[in-house]
Amino acid sequence: MKVGFIGLGVMGAPMALNILKAGHELTVFDRSPEAVARLVKAGAKAAATGKEVGAASEFVVTMLPEPQHVEEVVTGKDGVAEGLQKGGIVIEMSTIDPGTSVKIGDVLRKRGMDLVDSPVGKTSEHAVTGTLTLMVGGNQAAIDRAMPVLKCMGTDTYFCGGPGTGHAMKITNNLLATTIMVANTEALAIGIKAGLTLELMQKVMRTTMAWNQQLAVAMPKKAFLGDYSPGFACRLAGKDVRLACEVAEAQGFEALVGRAAQATLDRAGTMGMGDCDTAVLMKIRENELGIQVRQAAAPTVTTT
């Protein structure tokens, strides 16, 4: 199959590589020449615009930071829609609001094309192994046609409903996951400052309703090791939470917890940490309180 991919960042690059590994013909575009060069070295073809990607492809995957970026690259000047043939499908895998997703899909359908929204869950590690969670929305016929491409990137597929529902699921998921992360950093910092140990808090929380996957999986891999290298950037987490809050508020609901989490993430940005992994939120709390939240080093095992 002829597949295009636009957006070769931390998540997009390994996702595109897995499409290539599956034997599909791949054309890529990104504003970073280095990112494009790495995919070309692996066997992809380079394009200079979204239009060129569309002209070379039956399916075009987009994995971009913000809703306006997706709209520009798909339906804007020299966008995918100007090159994609009738019957072509855009697979939109970014984290954007469902309103923008539906809007872009409507434009494409008027031109004889279609859009499948399939944002992803899990981490960059899962992007590398092709085991992402896929939250899929759209017209069933288009989804069925897109499945061979989607299966290159994910193993857990959830059909959410009609156009825009995949993106609705993603921002709902990220709102909850991120607010839990923010709450974890605050609670653990308070506990350490009060004289508790991380190990004790983990033991107790495992037996109560406080336990969560951020404490169990994500934070031991990054925050508790003092590792803030790029993964899920604070600026992107803040964007996801903002989108979820905006959707809620458009429905007449005040997103108090979400807005508090967004303020915390925005603060990381003003401190020059927007591109750091969300694990850096723990570091900010540590600096404020003069503490350190770290896992105890594993004991060294010696053999004779």
Active site residues: 170
d(CA 231, CA 166): 22
Q: H or E segment at 263?
A: helix 256-270
212: nearest Cα among 222, 226, 202: 202
Q: H or E segment at 261?
A: helix 256-270
Q: H or E segment at 154?
A: strand 154-161
Rg (CA), the chain: 21
Distances (CA, A) of 21 to 16, 43, 95, 130: 9, 9, 24, 10
DSSP state for residue 223 in the 8-state scheme: G
Collapsed DSSP state (helix, strand, coil) of residue 109: helix
Task: Point out which residues pair with 29 in neighbouring strands.
Answer: 6
Collapsed DSSP state (helix, strand, coil) of residue 299: coil
Residue 250: how many CB atoms within 10 A of its CB? 10
Residue with tokens 């993430």: 265
Task: Point out which residues pair with 157 in neighbouring strands.
Answer: 134
The set of residues, in sequence order, having a beta carbon less than 8 Å from that of 257 and lying 6+ positions away, is 179
